[in-house]
Structure formats: structure tokens, C-alpha cells
């Protein structure tokens, strides 16, 4: 690889065309629109950037994250073979439907995250972005929450096997339960998830008292937030806990689950973030990360999701978005300026009793964590 390469985008056209089903909220074609936005805003043409098409990793690596019988069931379901025991693996539900190419889709998405991790470990890049990855709900023996193969767990385990220390930071609005379960009893991985409280949102876990077991006690951090939390409250909780923990842990790498579903316009959740808070979080992470691998996770307002990813990419690559299509009509597949709107949001604040409730809950959680967390 060119020695100048620092910033890598993994992109696979084939899996960007996959559809779970017409009514399903998860849209893999987000990745294609994201690439179009990078081109539109002149963010993907630098000498220190590279777009890589992932190649399939050896299937045996999938066992780092999953039971073999589950993987066989997943492969059968992808081939159109229905079996009665699929339900026990979480397959064939409304969240995790069976569709043609399911196994290939999950395998390739995982391959991108895994290969990106190896590039970081071999000092061939500083920043990796996989818009196909981030399936943080998938469990050892089951599909969950739109997730079939947990690419994050597999890639992190591969790095831990090489003696590396990994901090996993998850800002998806849903708690990263699959990743938490995988590393709950180890001190080799620092797991931090900031999300809407499980009292009001799937998967119903991720409370502040879930801090790890055995060697992992204190290395699993959850920051659950009240529905209605805005940029101000979110940033208060984030800044109080996250930067100091990561700095104390001294990771070799940060895995960053960059879910966009905490945005106020996301249809599946109840937080009130805007691009303003989102950008500040990314800027903080960029400053403290030695090397970083981004997976994208949730985001169900597609326009807002790809806009937030575009802003994040620009921050990690130290570039400013410049819309060369401003004022024109058409010009690229994503649409004209009017249909796109701005990458940026105006400020937004929660008010009154709801704001007070959100702040009080954030302060309570922060106080609890500050008293209990230790290394």
C-alpha cells in the first residue's frame, strides 16, 4: 500500500445493493449514498486516501464471534433452506428476516471490518471507515436487532490475540449488547456505550450498574440517557466520562460505532442530537485516538445518517466539505441541492421539565460511574 495512505474507506458495491425487505428500516444502500456525498463534497480525492473493496476473509475467522451451529443455520437461511430451528437462532423474525444473499452480505461486511483492523495493526493506515459494518447486537448464538454476524467482536478479538489493547466506543442510540456480552469479563477491551436508556428503547439493557465481571469489572461502561436528551446534556455526560477513561486505558486502537440514530429526526429512537453535538463528539474522539476504526451501525433517517457520516469523515480526514453542486440542479445520483439540504443542523434544545429531567438523569448516571469505575 502507498506509504502516504492514512485514511481508508472500505466499500463493496454488491452488498450496498442488498435489501432486507422493502419495509425493513435498515437500508444497506446508505453506503452507496455516503460515497456519493463524499464525491459531491470533494472529500475522497486526496493522496492520503484510498477506497478498498473488501475480499472475503477465511470463514474460520467468523468463529471468533459465533457458534458454528449458528453460522451453519445462517448459511442455510441465506440459501433459502427453511428449517424449524431457525427461530431459536433469531432468524426469520421481523427484525432479522431471511433473504437471498444474507450470509454473503454479513460475511463481506465483517471482512471489511476485519481487514481494516489488520491494516491498523500493521501500521498501514491511521483511520478506517466501514459504512457496511457495525452489527453490535449480534450474539454468539443468535441474530438480534438487524444484526447477523458481529463484525466488531470478530475484529477486536483478532487484535487482542495479537496482544493489542482496544477501546470500543459506541454512540449508537441503542445499547451495544452483543459487544458488551463478548468482552464483559476481560480487562483487555474497554467497552463504552452511550445510548438511550433501556427503560425506553431496545434492547432493554445497558444500565450504569452493568460494569463487567471478574477481570472485566470496571472495564464495561454504560451511559444510559433519558429520552429527549439534547446536545447539551449528551455532551455533558460524554465529556465527564469518555475522554478520561480512554486516556487512562491507553488503547492501541479505538473502535468507534458511529450510529446516527441518536439524531432528533431518527424514526426509531427518542434522543435529540443534531449535527452540532455529533461533530463535537467526533472531534474529541479524533484528538484522543491513536488509530481508529469506524463502523456505522444504526441510522434510519437515511438523509440525516449519510450527512452525519460525511461530516465525521471530513473531521477524521481534516477536510472541509465543499459542495461543488451548490446552486445547480441534478448533477449526481443523490440529487440536487434542494433535495439534499444542508449537512448541518440548526441548534436544537429540549426545554422545560423534560430538559430538567434529562439533565438530572445524566448527572445521576455520571455520579454513579465516577464513584465505581476504576482500573
Give the active site residues: 137
Q: Alpha-carbon Rg of the chain, whole angstroms?
A: 20
Name the packing angle between helices 231-249 and 275-288 (round to 10°). 10
Cell of 57: 476473509
Bridge-based pairing state of the strands 220-225 and 253-257 = unpaired
Cell of 267: 424514526
> How many CB atoms sit inside 10 A of residue 342's CB?
11
Whole-angstrom distance, CA of residue 132 vs CA of residue 16: 8
Whole-angstrom distance, CA of residue 96 vs CA of residue 102: 10
Cell of 176: 451495544
Burial of 150 per CB tally in 10 Å (0-12, 13-18, 19+)? buried
Whole-angstrom distance, CA of residue 155 vs CA of residue 159: 7
Amino acid at each position: 500500500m502507498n506509504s502516504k495512505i492514512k485514511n481508508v474507506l472500505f466499500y463493496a458495491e454488491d452488498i450496498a445493493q442488498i435489501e432486507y425487505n422493502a419495509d425493513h428500516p435498515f437500508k444497506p444502500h446508505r453506503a452507496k449514498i455516503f460515497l456519493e456525498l463524499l464525491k459531491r463534497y470533494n472529500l475522497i480525492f486526496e493522496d492520503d486516501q484510498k477506497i478498498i473493496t473488501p475480499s472475503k476473509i477465511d470463514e474460520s475467522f467468523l468463529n471468533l464471534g459465533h457458534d458454528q451451529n449458528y453460522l451453519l443455520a445462517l448459511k442455510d437461511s441465506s440459501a433459502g433452506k427453511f428449517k424449524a430451528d431457525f427461530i431459536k437462532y433469531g432468524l426469520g423474525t421481523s427484525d432479522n428476516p431471511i433473504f437471498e444473499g444474507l450470509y454473503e452480505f454479513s460475511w463481506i461486511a465483517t471482512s471489511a471490518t476485519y481487514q481494516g483492523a489488520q491494516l491498523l495493526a500493521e501500521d498501514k493506515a491511521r483511520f478506517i471507515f466501514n459504512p457496511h459494518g457495525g452489527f453490535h447486537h449480534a450474539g454468539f448464538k443468535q441474530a438480534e436487532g438487524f444484526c447477523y454476524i458481529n463484525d466488531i467482536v470478530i475484529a477486536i478479538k483478532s487484535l487482542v490475540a495479537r496482544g493489542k489493547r482496544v477501546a470500543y466506543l459506541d454512540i449508537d442510540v441503542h445499547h451495544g449488547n452483543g459487544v458488551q456480552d463478548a468482552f464483559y469479563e476481560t480487562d483487555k477491551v474497554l467497552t463504552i456505550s452511550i445510548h438511550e436508556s433501556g427503560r425506553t428503547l431496545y434492547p432493554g439493557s445497558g444500565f450504569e450498574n452493568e460494569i463487567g465481571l471478574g477481570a472485566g469489572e470496571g472495564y464495561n461502561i454504560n451511559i444510559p440517557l433519558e429520552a429527549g436528551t439534547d446536545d447539551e446534556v449528551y455532551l455533558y455526560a460524554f465529556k465527564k466520562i469518555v475522554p478520561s477513561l480512554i486516556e487512562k486505558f491507553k488503547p492501541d486502537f479505538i473502535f468507534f460505532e458511529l450510529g446516527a440514530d441518536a439524531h432528533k429526526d431518527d424514526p426509531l429512537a427518542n434522543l435529540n442530537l443534531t449535527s452540532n453535538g455529533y461533530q463535537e463528539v467526533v472531534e474529541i474522539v479524533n484528538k484522543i485516538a491513536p488509530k481508529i476504526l469506524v463502523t456505522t451501525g444504526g441510522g434510519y433517517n437515511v438523509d440525516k445518517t449519510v450527512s452525519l457520516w460525511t461530516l465525521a469523515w471530513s473531521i477524521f480526514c481534516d477536510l472541509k466539505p465543499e459542495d461543488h453542486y451548490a446552486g445547480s440542479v441534478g448533477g449526481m445520483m443523490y440529487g440536487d441541492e434542494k433535495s439534499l439540504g444542508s449537512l448541518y443542523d440548526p441548534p436544537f434544545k429540549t426545554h422545560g421539565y423534560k430538559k430538567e429531567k434529562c439533565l438530572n438523569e445524566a448527572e445521576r448516571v455520571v455520579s454513579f460511574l465516577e464513584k465505581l469505575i476504576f482500573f
